[in-house]
Amino acid sequence: MTSLLLTNARLIDPEAGTDSPGWLHLRDGVIVATGSNAPPQIDNVLDCGGKCLAPGIVDIGVKVCEPGERHKESYASAGRAAAAGGVTTIVTRPDTTPAIDSPEGLEFVARRAQADALVHVHHMAALTKGRQGREMAEIGFLLDAGAVAFSDCDVVIRDTKVLSRALTYARSLGALVMLHPQEPMLSDGAVATSGKFASLRGLPAVSAMAERMGLDRDIALIEMTGVRAHFDQITTARALPALQRAKRNGLDVTAGISIHHLTLNEMDVADYRTFFKVKPPLRAEDDRQAMIEALRDGLIDVICSMHTPQDEESKRLPFEEAASGAVALETLLPAALRLYHAEALTLPQLFRALSLAPARLLGLDAGRLAAGAPADLVLFDAHAPFVLDRFELRSKSKNTPFDGARMQGRVLATFVSGRRVYGEP
């Protein structure tokens, strides 16, 4: 099908900041026209039934476990999960086994993604070799091979001289660097945020100031080198003033937050529920509320899934020993809609952070509903209730903290370049 008319839709346009009825005309993978008046006469018509039609989600920081741990997640399974979750573009992390730190490794995963994934896939590469923080990766060659950003993920580079050299080199090439703000010595071994809850549970904890301390160091290095940087997760209220100053002073910085830190808090760990063990650890409710406000004000730019598959064996352990991380490709949208139903964010504000901002950060032509934009779209019912069953997830790993949770918002159809990759034909 080269031409399709989507009518009777509730158009969520994050670029215009509007939520209004209308139609979209797709042809050859591109939006060719949109409007709210009488639609054109076309043979292939899909009546959206008044449901929400928005730009497909651009998800930064997805872990696909190829190479090395394909039993946890493959490009085929991640692509199916993304399509079912309304995610039309995934940007993969380099924290694989081995790390993606060479052009050869990057070309391998790019071929795997192109062959198996239902959605668009872009790749980050490691900032240092083996993500060990000792020697800078070949940033120039990796850029030529297609890397869209560079990150050592949740491994903080402790040697400031190594990091400053890597940032300087990245700046000279115009590369985007993603940083994980944490003070590594304080946060080493911590599985909870310091406070009454962690003390009552007897869990090794880290102060929220560790994030602020790591952020302060990284901001100083960004100011020194002039690099373009994105902080993968800002999760504490104490980090926000430093981020605000950096932006106000003209530094080229953006910030993101995972859906788990935006919708859950430290109390959800309850009696050592390891599916709620993530990195950094879940924060206090006051921090969560501060993050929502920062997102509404545009101080935090991006919402991501931080999709981290873990098998049953690595999660069915005592809380301190269990692996960190949760799958979220399929739960990202319904979890984010909790903020809409709570009247904390509007749908255009949500999709600004889910689609438009990450696309702009990476220089991708996505996240828009304007004529000429790619026809990467998600059709969803924002009010459809359901109870999540983790065994119905399309990811190979089932480690979601939302198992058994009552959720509201179902994806009805997902289009990638105008082709329906999820939903009834």
Encode pLDDT of 51-65 as tens digits: 999 999 999 989 999
231-to-255, 352, 407 alpha-carbon distances in Å: 5, 17, 29
150-to-62, 88, 100, 243, 329 alpha-carbon distances in Å: 14, 21, 10, 20, 21
Please report which confidence band the pLDDT of residue 151 belongs to, taking 50, 70 and 90 as the band edges: very high
In this predicted structure, what is the pLDDT of residue 2?
Answer: 81
**Using CA of residue 288, residue 294, residue 297, residue 303, what is the dihedral sign?**
negative
What percent of the chain lies above the pLDDT cut of 70? Answer: 100
- Average pLDDT of the chain? 97
113-to-176, 218, 241, 331 alpha-carbon distances in Å: 22, 32, 39, 21
Work out the average pLDDT over 144-154: 97
C-beta atoms surrounding 357 within 10 Å: 22
Residue 425: is its pLDDT beyond 80?
Answer: no
In this predicted structure, what is the pLDDT of residue 78?
Answer: 98
Residue 41: is its pLDDT beyond 60?
Answer: yes
In this predicted structure, what is the pLDDT of residue 424?
Answer: 79
Q: Which residues contact 270 (CB under 8 A, 6 or more apart)?
A: 276
Work out the average pLDDT over 306-314: 97
Please report which confidence band the pLDDT of residue 43 belongs to, taking 50, 70 and 90 as the band edges: confident
Q: What is the DSSP string of 111-143?
A: HHHHHH-SSEEEEEE-SBGGG-SSSB--HHHHH
Out of 34-48, 154-168, 274-288, which region has the weakest mean confidence (pLDDT)?
34-48
d(CA 353, CA 297): 11
- Tokens 């929502």 correspond to 292
Please report which confidence band the pLDDT of residue 39 belongs to, taking 50, 70 and 90 as the band edges: confident
Work out the average pLDDT over 112-133: 97
Encode pLDDT of 373-415 as tens digits: 999 999 999 999 999 999 999 999 999 999 999 999 999 999 9
Residue 164: is its pLDDT beyond 80?
Answer: yes
Out of 30-44, 171-185, 353-367, 396-410, which region has the weakest mean confidence (pLDDT)?
30-44
d(CA 84, CA 285): 30
In this predicted structure, what is the pLDDT of residue 38?
Answer: 87
Work out the average pLDDT over 194-215: 95
Q: Rounded to the nearest 10 degrees, how much is the dihedral formed by the CA atoms of 50, 51, 54, 57?
A: -170
Residue 1: is its pLDDT beyond 60?
Answer: no
DSSP code at position 214: H
- The length of the chain is 425
| Structure token pair of residue 110 | 């790019």
Q: Can you give the pTM of this predicted structure?
A: 0.96
- Tokens 């091979």 correspond to 145
What angle do the packed helices 240-248 and 209-225 form, to 10 degrees?
A: 20
